[in-house]
Amino acid sequence: MALDVPPSVYLEQLGDVMVSYGALSVTGILDTPTQVLEGGLALSTDYKLTIEAASLPGLDTGASLTLTSLVGLPANNGAYTVRELAPEGDGAFALVTLSKV
């Protein structure tokens, strides 16, 4: 289903991080699901970022991003590297898989 508003408006209302890439800054949604590994002996956190697909031209794997929490979660602040970049849904959004540096 298509959104009734532009993706940027949706992200401005629901976004929880400011994403900086070079001179560009956009709002995104960071999801940090944790997986239990090795029968509960280790935890692994995945970093998944949702942004407007056209908001960061030139973004590709290996790129460096800086995230700043907008909702008081300083543990999410810092430098990240793009591992994967894929369209989400109808392509208005992009799902960016990150590694924390």
- The CATH number assigned to the domain holding 65 equals 2.40.10
Instruction: For 9-26, write each residue's pLDDT tens digit.
Output: 889 889 999 999 999 999
- In a domain, residue 1? The reply is no
What's the rounded Cα separation, in Å, for the pair 47 and 76?
9
Q: Which domain holds residue 26?
A: 7-100
- Minimum mean pLDDT range among 30-39, 47-56, 87-96: 30-39
Please classify residue 50 by burial: count the beta carbons closer than 10 Å to its beta carbon, then call 0-12 exposed, 13-18 middle and 19+ buried.
Answer: buried
d(CA 27, CA 29): 7
Give domain status of residue 58, yes or no: yes
Please tell me the total count of domains within the chain: 1
Bridge partners of 68? 18
In a domain, 2, yes or no: no
pTM over 0.85: yes
What tokens appear for 26 in the block? 């956009």
Q: Is the pLDDT of residue 38 over 80?
A: no
Please report whether residue 45 resides in a domain. Answer: yes
Provide the pLDDT for residue 2.
60
